Amino acid sequence: MNELQQLLEKYKLGQISHEELLRLHSLIESDDYAPEVKADILNTLYQPPPVESKWKEEYGEAILEEVFNSSRRKVFPFKVWQMAAAMVAGIAIIGGALLLRKSPSQPARQVAVNIQPGSDKAMLVLADGRKIPLDSSVQGSLAQQGSTSIVNTQEGLSYQSNGQDNQVVYNTVVTPRGGQYQLTLADGTKVWLNAASSIRFPTSFDKGERSVELTGEGYFQVAANASQPFKVKVKGNSDMSVDVLGTSFNIMAYPDEQGVVTTLESGAVQLVHGNTKSLLAPGYGGTLLQGSDNFNIQKADLEQALAWKDGKFRFRNTNIYTIMRQISRWYNIDVAYEGDLSDKRFTGLISRRENASSLLQILSATKLIDIEFNGNKILVRPHVPAGH
């Protein structure tokens, strides 16, 4: 995708070489990037045209017709891409409408909203209850907890232990809706904390197991230490934990989701719930549904599970309720529903750095759903064609 985007940008600017153009032709003429290219075109057609643009409305309608019709074919026509690539190569996301095998009869409704995406921000709660706001503007030494120094840099929060503490004290980092943060624990373990999440941890790991408590979602790169196993406890579920030695994994444990999902990227982890234990292999995920005593182990979609850490939303046949929960947490907006939306599913990729309107406009453009804004609230309902 990076290569494709770079070549598209060069083509748009008229700076592409003959060799690069041949490479771009080969990428476009294969099946691999057809959904992303079609999505770029679809998104572009619903953006205001540049002032200097000489495109006529009928050109856009013709391309849109071809985009939807092309979903019947395996190879995306290069002539269609060539017409659209001269515009803006932007967000890559496709909705279920691309799978419906039909073209729209009316222009999609626009979503007028200017809600900025989330950012790196959190609140640090010290052992004595003091609270320190965290963001990129707060740099340097923040506090001392026993023999551990707390430092904030552009890379996030860092705990630097300078000796053994007689008494273990705990700190908590809390991200709001619309926030995320990265921290390095005293043992060198790195943690990425998603929006509306928190982690409680000791300021130093002197002996015994290394234990932290998570709510929401976090990605862990655990520093290997065979003599000190690392344990992540899920807040609100005292019977569940994830036991590791040294590995990279993601835990999603939001209370409004149907269960706790652990996805292993590398290494090995053991999922524990009461007397039930399940070992995960890399590339697999384990789900503990609410009210269940057993883990459902299956092959994981690592790209989708870890997309948030890489600054993206990734959906693969994802239902609208799951999508809107992610949007609600990242953009700090409330979502309400009207009508039956259980069959509305979407596939696509979009940057989490985009304004909310970019994502919502494209979802609306699929003509599967209508989105209505009222202040900081969204109402989502099944699409109703104009005149009905």
Query: What is the model's pTM?
Result: 0.72
User: Is residue 44's pLDDT more than 60?
Assistant: no
| pLDDT of the residue at 263 | 97
Q: Which residue has the higher pLDDT, 302 or 21?
A: 302
Q: What is the pLDDT of residues 353-379, one digit of tens each?
A: 888 888 888 888 888 999 998 878 899
Q: What average pLDDT score do residues 251-270 get? A: 95
What DSSP state is assigned to residue 76?
P
Task: Report in angstroms the alpha-carbon separations of 8 from 15, 31, 320, 326.
Answer: 10, 17, 30, 29
Q: Which residue has the higher pLDDT, 166 or 101?
A: 166
Q: What is the pLDDT of residues 329-354, one digit of tens each?
A: 999 999 999 999 999 999 888 889 88
Q: Which residue has the higher pLDDT, 226 or 30?
A: 226
Residue 250 · residue 309 · CB < 8 Å: yes
Residue 324 · residue 331 · CB < 8 Å: no
Q: What is the pLDDT of residues 286-295, one digit of tens each?
A: 999 988 889 9
Q: Which residue has the higher pLDDT, 21 or 38?
A: 21
User: Is residue 54's pLDDT more than 70?
Assistant: no
| pLDDT of the residue at 41 | 58
Q: What average pLDDT score do residues 132-141 get? A: 89
Q: What average pLDDT score do residues 91-112 get? A: 37
Residue 11 · residue 25 · CB < 8 Å: no
Distance in angstroms (rounded) separating the CA atoms of residues 177 and 220: 20
Distance in angstroms (rounded) separating the CA atoms of residues 190 and 177: 21
Residue 134 · residue 176 · CB < 8 Å: no
Q: What average pLDDT score do residues 174-195 get? A: 97
Which fold would CATH assign to domain 119-305? Answer: Jelly Rolls (2.60.120)
Band of pLDDT at residue 183, cut at 50, 70 and 90 = very high
Q: Quote the mean pLDDT of the chain.
A: 80
| pLDDT of the residue at 57 | 47
Q: What is the pLDDT of residues 310-333, one digit of tens each?
A: 999 999 999 999 999 999 999 999
